[in-house]
């Protein structure tokens, strides 16, 4: 299935890029603080960043990858991330909406797409021209 993963590809296109994640790990659109809700280019960075589910670190670029995962795998990864981060205890059922919000926009994307985040919106970077 198509899923968002951390990547360093595309880094440096924007002055305020950063990537502290592990290449290829699953990411999601983590929570955004009040400061970045007013300006995703503000000093915090959470409004333009994807959160790595394994590293608990962030990156401003993500790659759509087609991985041999099920929806349940993604739910369990998110449960593990949230519990490890100290947000409490979660059941798979309690995260249905979050997983839907994560997966639904990917239906219009393709494996290999590089995306950026502006709060709740995903922006797809243009593909580099192929060498002829």
Binding positions for Zn ion, rule: CB under 5 A = 33, 36, 44, 46
φ and ψ of 27, to 5 deg: -130, 160
Q: What is the secondary structure of 44-106 as a DSSP string?
A: S-GGG-EEETTT--EES-EEEEE-S--HHHHHHHHHHHHHHTTS----TGGGHHHHHHHHGGG
- Of 124, 100, 129, whose CA–CA distance to 112 is shortest? 124
Shortest distance (Å) from residue 37 CB to Zn ion:
8
Shortest distance (Å) from residue 31 CB to Zn ion:
8
Shortest distance (Å) from residue 47 CB to Zn ion:
6
Residues in contact with 87: Cβ distance below 8 Å, sequence separation at least 6, in sequence order: none
Closer CB to Zn ion, 44 or 67, in the complex: 44
Closer CB to Zn ion, 50 or 65, in the complex: 50
Closer CB to Zn ion, 44 or 95, in the complex: 44
Closer CB to Zn ion, 33 or 84, in the complex: 33
Q: CA geometry: angle at 82 spanning 95 and 91, to 5°?
A: 40
Shortest distance (Å) from residue 117 CB to Zn ion:
12
């Amino acid at each position: 299935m198509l899923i968002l993963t951390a990547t360093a590809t595309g880094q440096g296109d924007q002055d305020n890029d950063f990537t502290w994640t592990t290449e290829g790990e699953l990411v999601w659109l983590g929570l955004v603080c009040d400061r970045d809700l007013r300006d995703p280019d503000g000093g915090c960075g959470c409004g333009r960043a994807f959160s790595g589910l394994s590293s608990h670190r962030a990156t401003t670029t993500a790659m759509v990858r087609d991985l041999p995962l099920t929806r349940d795998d993604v739910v369990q990864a998110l449960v593990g991330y949230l519990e490890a981060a100290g947000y409490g205890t979660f059941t798979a059922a309690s995260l249905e909406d979050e997983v839907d919000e994560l997966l639904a926009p990917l239906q219009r994307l393709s494996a290999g797409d590089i995306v950026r985040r502006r709060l709740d919106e995903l922006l797809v970077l243009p593909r580099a021209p192929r060498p002829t």
